[in-house]
Amino acid sequence: MLPGFFAKEAMPDTLPEVLERRPLSYNEINKCGVLFSKRRCRWRAETGGHPMRSRICQAAILVELFLLFLLLCGRYADRQKAPVFSDNIEIGQTETKEGKKDYIKWVDFTVSSQALEYACEQDILAHEAGTELNWISLLAYTAARWGGEFSRQAMQTMKDMAKKALKEADGQRTATDVIEEAGRELKYYPYYKEAYEAVLSGMVGPYEAQIEGEDGTVTWQQVYGLKAYSPIAKGFDYSDYDDFGAARSYGYSRPHLGHDMMGLVGTPIIAIESGYVEVLGWNQYGGWRIGIRSFDRKRYYYYAHLRQNYPYQSDLEEGSVVTAGQVIGYMGHTGYSTEENVNNIKTTHLHWGLELIFDESQKESDNEIWIDCYQLSQFLRRHRSGVAKVEGTKEWKRVLQIRDPAAEAAKK
């Protein structure tokens, strides 16, 4: 029995009188309903079952049952409707020559790997069918409907929209146009579209790739599809889990703003997306590390704790253009030292992080936006770059090359 609720000499007439004392849990409310009924039966017996009092008791019980019914209905409705959200959306302003410009200050990237896989497949299938279905628009529409959450119900919403968009696409409008029209009815669609473009815009599109035939001959072919890669080379084992936000204490107390992938020393590390090397060298926290900026400058990829003595591919330097799938370095456990080339990290692993930059003032500031990369890593697991050992060296190189239009343009 809940303490202090049912003293013999002070029997409340209604459940709301108890609720005024303190908030109750759902289970406590259920228990209260049963205990009130039992207590009233005993109270009726003790008072001789006065008719007026009996009718009052019956009315009170009905009121209590009605309140419980409303509570259950409210909980059921909450499960059925899309959640209301706004707390995770922050907009800032910066001064430009044209005046003040708004930019996004925070992003919670909560898209599941299943949602990423489905949206990417729909984009590729639509391209093969002769239309366009932008996977980022599809994800943004779903997020705007469900507050950034990708539950089973949200996945069904996404599938329904993809089916509707492909069905209604014709000579005058694409499947993307259909999604965009539906998105204009949703208040937060523009926010999610811009946020997800910042994360994903370099990952799907046209490129050229070397394809090996059954007879072993290699030819260049035009390809449309996923052109981003897992940061771990094909054929190398690793383990990981979602450790974003976990506590770190070296130097100062802080959250872990990246994703750790545990493996063996010397495992080849792959460029996830094409871009240019912005940073190359030692950092007391990340050890030997590489920072690669996307060509649209919206993404900064950070690869840390690279191998002692031979951390990078020998031809890399700051300013180098790299192509997605290219070997850029090797796994190690350097870092946590002001002295260079020291292994002070206990576990061999790659730390990779993804920072979003909507305004250059965010790049190195107290307002940096680092996203949880775990689901993205799970999604990219399906696309790993094959490598081969370069005999007589400590290096590996990619086996089959690609030509990413953005990288090729940057090299000219």
Q: Which sequence spans correspond to the domains of the chain? A: 15-80, 90-200, 209-411
Instruction: Supply the angle between the helices 135-146 and 152-168 in degrees, to the nearest 10.
Output: 130
Distance CA 407, CA 294 (A): 10
Residue 110 corresponds to which amino acid? T
Q: Average pLDDT by consecutive 10-residue portion of the chain (412 residues)?
A: 38 41 43 44 45 63 72 48 45 57 91 98 96 98 97 98 96 95 96 97 96 95 98 97 88 88 98 98 97 98 98 97 98 97 97 97 92 97 97 97 96 86
Token pair of 269, please?
């590390």
- The pLDDT of residue 97 is 55
Rounded to the nearest angstrom, the gap between the alpha carbon of residue 255 and the centroid of all alpha carbons in its chain is: 17
- The pLDDT of residue 249 is 79
Distance CA 150, CA 114 (A): 9
Token pair of 44, please?
């009726």
Report DSSP letters for 53-114, one per residue.
HHHHHHHHHHHHHHHHHHHHHHHHHHHHSPPP--TT-EEEEEEETTEEEEEEEE------HH
- The pLDDT of residue 62 is 76
Report DSSP letters for 182-202, one per residue.
HHTTSTTHHHHHHHHHHHHTT
Look at phi and psi of residue 285 and say left if phi exceeds 0, alpha if psi is from -120 to 50, else beta. alpha
- The pLDDT of residue 101 is 75
- The pLDDT of residue 4 is 37
Taking the model in full, what pTM does it have?
Answer: 0.78
Stretch (H or E) spanning 390: none
**Alpha helices by DSSP H, 91-174:** 113-128, 135-146, 152-168
Token pair of 291, please?
């920072």
- The pLDDT of residue 79 is 39
State in Å, rounded, how far the first CA of the chain is from the last one. 78
Distance CA 396, CA 386 (A): 10
Token pair of 111, please?
């898209």
Query: How many Cα atoms are found within 13 Å in the side-chain-facing hemisphere of 356?
Result: 22
3-state secondary structure of 381: coil
3-state secondary structure of 63: helix
- The pLDDT of residue 43 is 42
Q: Which CATH code for domain 209-411? A: 2.70.70.10
The CA-atom distances, in angstroms, between 138 and each of 108, 164, 202, 267, 382 are 17, 11, 16, 35, 21
Instruction: Supply the angle between the helices 113-128 and 135-146 in degrees, to the nearest 10.
Output: 140
3-state secondary structure of 50: coil
- Residue entry with tokens 């400058």: 297
